[in-house]
Structure 1
Amino acid sequence: MSAPTDWATKDFYQVLGVKKDASADEIKKAYRKLARDNHPDSNPGNAQAEERFKAISEAYGVIGNAEKRKQYDEQRSLFGQFKGGFPPPGGGGPGGMGGVDFDLGDILGGIFGGGARGGRRRAPQPRRGEDLESEATITFRQSVEGVTLPLRLTSDEPCANCHGTGARPGSVPKVCSKCQGSGMQTGASGGVFAMTEPCSQCRGRGLIVEHPCEVCSGSGRAPSSRTINVKVPAGVKDGQRIKIRGKGGKGDSGAPAGDLFLVVHVEGDERFGRKGDDLTVTVPLPFDDAVLGGEVTAPTIDGSTVKLKVPAGTPNGRTFRARGKGGTKRDGSRGDLLVTVEVEVPGEISDAQRAAVEAYREARVGGVA
């Protein structure tokens, strides 16, 4: 969710593709369609779709709520006369505000439960864990059936020596005297606004460490390694980027962990290929079976075999379908095995075989039945 100062410049109606006088049902209907089309589960590895989904959710969180929508509309109306949503630096604002120093948080605070000066400042939130990225190489069969992999991860996590406080054991951090523990400070921007920014003394933490921890040097974070088991779903493609929620770096003081992004590399296979959820394989077909009809045996990914009937007059390169013998789909069902036959031309033949082929050629050329 964006900060209050960002809202005046965002057109949530445009994000959802609805008019400003749209009804609540129209807004909900537009949100559901856009959320379904851009949901990360429907667009694995698509960073643009994930960003659109966040923007759509943010927009609906405001104009999908009657009270917040009313406050948002009032806010947009107040700043609508200014290009970009804000008064020009040093210029006059609505109601003759030129030259008056005020904080935008005082105007927008109603939406968030209190402004920066009109009420108690909100304490800085504990730091969320960092997102991590790793890579893994799996076999073709593992990509078809799914696999659970052990991964060794290294990240900055709350220091075990000081438990994330940054202070030497036996001591505690002090509340920052400059921001009074809020982690934020208000400074002049050169125009009509007093902008809020991270405190320069505590760097946004709200605390000052007088006696730093000797392990993390007062940062509260230290390198840590751990091994986790990650489930790679069946049907993963080579180069696919998988998001595993909550498996990234640990957060501070109960804050949520970050996410893990795993890039999967799939090894090739000598026998099998992939076509969507179906697997492909090529098997030899004797010349006489191609002419007279017969049967071929094809391997499957699980190590078993499947037999398929081949009709008389089968040409080289024809593909047959063995249903349910392909890769595992996301819903747990299986795709098909596409078996392509390759007509064999023997390099060496016996005298009897040669005689039979010559008789066939003579009959074909001479037209003898």
Structure 2
Amino acid sequence: MARDPYQELGVSRSASADEIRKAFRKLAKANHPDTNPDNKEAEERFKRVSAAFDILGDAEKKKKFDAGEIDADGRETFRGFGGAGAGGPWGAPPGGGFGGQRRGGYRSETFEDVDLGDILGEMFGGARGGRGGGPDGGRGGGFGGFSQRGADVRAKLEIDLEDAIRGGKRRIAFSDGRTIDVSIPKGAQEGQTLRLKGQGAPGRSGAGDAFIELSIAPHPIFRREGEVLVMDVPVTLYDAVLGGKVEAPTPDGPVTLTIPKGANTGSKLRLKGRGLSDAKGNRGDLFARLVVTLPDTPDPALEILAEDMRKARPYSPRRRT
């Protein structure tokens, strides 16, 4: 069983969602297999913190864990039939079950090598494999229409803006210790869910699916405004007045921008095909917003020029209405 997720992430039970996310990102970055090749200890640590965030990073799962409805592995705790009270059926510890493992949509509890899931299926007319036979005609039959297919699993994956634009691969760890490489499609969107068939929990008639919800991490340079990508580009006073060329970053690498004479803060230059991707991989545009920037230290010559201009050619930067 996994450790307490709060202890794994090093946060208190009163930690906010932002504090939990920051703790996970710090630990995941420090222990990621890509930055710690051939380091088994770091890989195991990465798996554990990923599993912990799988619980605490999901508001619904966190609520269930805090209420004791699921354990640190994300598995439902066994409470017997009809919400049995203290002790549960057959003397099971309250809310604890017999330490069995989850199969499909239910927990198959075991006690001294006796599979309680099989016994219940036989007691209540469940089929032993195949389709049909159950009271609801569902897959595998069994008590209450229990499914023999493995349960679906869900996880969240934060990706970089560049991965969302160009696509790529990211590794994700599940609470059962498995790690898989997720293929990020070009034009991935915030909140998009990827379905990985057969990557869920194992079951008698096959594994379930894994559903990976994507979120795009904030970028230190680029920001999304509607359907376009925007960045701020600092420009010196003399380049703004006289025109010039400056190097600017893009998601595909640096480019050279031509600054027109008389450029002002707020002026935008359009870089075609350097912006966001749509679902078909078509690239939008990137807009460079110019920000005229004065020197960090006072310049006496500039001060004299400004004083002369204020006396001889005063102007108002406010637009006329």
TM-score (ref. length: structure 2): 0.46
Which protein is bigger by CA-based radius of gyration? 1
TM-score normalised by L of structure 1: 0.41
| Bigger relative contact order (CA 8 A; separation at least 6) | 1
